[in-house]
Amino acid sequence: MTFARVLLKRLLLSLVTLWLLSVLVFAAAQLLPGDVGRAILGPLADASVVANLNHKLGTDRPLLVQYWDWASHFAVGDMGHSYTFDAPVAPFIGTALINSLKLAAVAFVLVVPLSILGGVWAALNVGRPIDRIITVAGLSATILPEFVTGIVLILIFGIWLRWLPISASWPDGAGPLTQIYYLILPSVPLFLVLFGYIARMARAGMIEALDSDYTRTAVLKGLPWRTVLWRHVLRNALLPTITVVATQTGYLIGGLLVVEVLFHYQGIGGLIYNAAKGKDFQMLESGILVIGLIYTMATLLADILYSALNPRIHFGASE
C-alpha cells in the first residue's frame, strides 16, 4: 500500500470514531436525562413551563431529527445556542480553547524537553540510583490525581511561600509575561502527570536502541560516542515518544478540567465544568465533542508523523 492509501484509511477510521463519539455524546446528553426541560428546571417546575422550554430547545422533536440537526450544524461550525448565556455556543468555546491552549503550551514547553531529557538520562544510567529516582518519582507523580498535587502546590508556593498566585486568572490587560507567571503553578500538576509517561517511553526507547545491533555496529566501527548517540541512538529511540506526546493531549484535556476548576481558569475544562453544573446541555455536548475532535486529530497526526519518520513501518499492516 502506498502512503496516500494508508493516510486515507486512517482518516476514514478517525471519521468513524468521531461519528460514534458524536452519537455517544448526543445519547448521553439528550437521551439519558429523559426529559431535558425537566432536568434543567427541576422536579418542582410546572408541566407547561417544562413543555415550553422543551419546545424552545427543540427537545420535543424526534430524536433522529434532533441528532441530525445538531450534528449537521456542528459540522459547519455552528455549535448551537447556550441555555445559560442565551447566546451562540461557538464564541465561548473559541475563547476557552485559546485559554486552554495557553495553559497547555506552558505545560508542554516545560514537560517535553525535561521528560525526554529525564528518560534519556535514566536510560544512560540504567540500574543506577539516578535511574531509580527518575523512574519512581515519575511514576508516583503520574498516578496522583491532579487536584491532589495541585492543592499541595498551592499550599506550598501560593500560601506558605507566597511566590506564585493561586488563581490562574490574570488581571485584565496583562502582558504575555504576566500571563505566563500566572500559568506556572497550574501547569505543574499537568507537568507531573505527563512527565512520568513521556520519560518512561523515552527511557524504554533509549534502552532498546542502545541494545541494538546498529548501535553496536556504529560503536565497533569506531564512531565517536557523541556521534553514535546523536545520529543512531536518539533518532531511533525517540520515535515512540512522539506518539506518546501526541496521545497525551487527550489526557491533558482531562487534566485541564480539574486544574482549571482548581485554579479558577476560564479554559475548555472550566467551560465544560460550568456547563455541566448549569445543565447547559448544548454547551456541554459541543465542548465535549470539540475535545474528542482535538484528541482524534492529535492521534491521527501522531500516527502519520510516526509512519513518515519511521521507514521500517510496513504500510498495510494494521492492528
Closer of 200 and 232 to another protein (Cβ):
200
- Our CB check for another protein shows the closer of 234 and 254 to be 254
89 and 283 Cβ atoms separated by less than 8 Å: yes
Strands 81-82 and 87-88: antiparallel
CB of 231 to another protein, least distance (A): 35
Identify whether the C-beta of residue 47 lies closer than 8 Å to the C-beta of residue 35: no
| Minimum separation from the CB atom of position 251 to another protein (A) | 6
Give me the helices (H) in the chain, please: 3-26, 36-41, 47-57, 63-75, 89-124, 129-143, 146-153, 176-210, 213-220, 225-227, 235-237, 239-262, 268-277, 281-309
Of 40 and 210, the one with the shorter C-beta distance to another protein is 40
Angle between helices 63-75 and 281-309 (to 10 degrees): 50
- Cα 83 to Cα 282: distance, rounded to the nearest angstrom: 7
Contact 281, 89 (CB under 8 A): no
Q: In whole angstroms, how far apart are CA 102 and each of 105, 141, 164, 293?
A: 5, 22, 17, 19
**Cβ closest to another protein, residue 4 vs residue 143:** 143
Question: What's the min distance (Å) between Cβ of 98 and another protein?
Answer: 19
Amino acid (one-letter) located at 179: Q
**Least separation, in Å, of the C-beta of 116 and another protein?**
23
Find all residues with CB under 8 Å of 225, minimum gap 6, and list them: 219
- Which lies closer to another protein via its Cβ, residue 238 or residue 283? 283
The alpha carbon of residue 268 and the mean position of all alpha carbons in its chain are separated, in whole angstroms, by 11
87 phi/psi in degrees, rounded to 5:
-150, 160
* Residue 138 C-beta: closest distance to another protein, Å: 13
Smallest separation (angstroms) from another protein to the CB of 170:
17
Residue closer to another protein (CB basis): 26 or 232: 26
CB of 165 to another protein, least distance (A): 10
Residues that bind another protein (CB under 8 A): 13, 16-18, 20-21, 24-25, 28-29, 31-33, 39, 139-140, 143-148, 151-152, 154-155, 159-160, 166, 250-251, 253-255, 257-258, 261-262, 272-273, 276-277, 279, 284, 288, 291-292, 295-296, 299
* Closer by beta carbon to another protein, 120 or else 244: 244
**What is the rounded CA–CA span in Å between residue 255 and residue 54?**
33
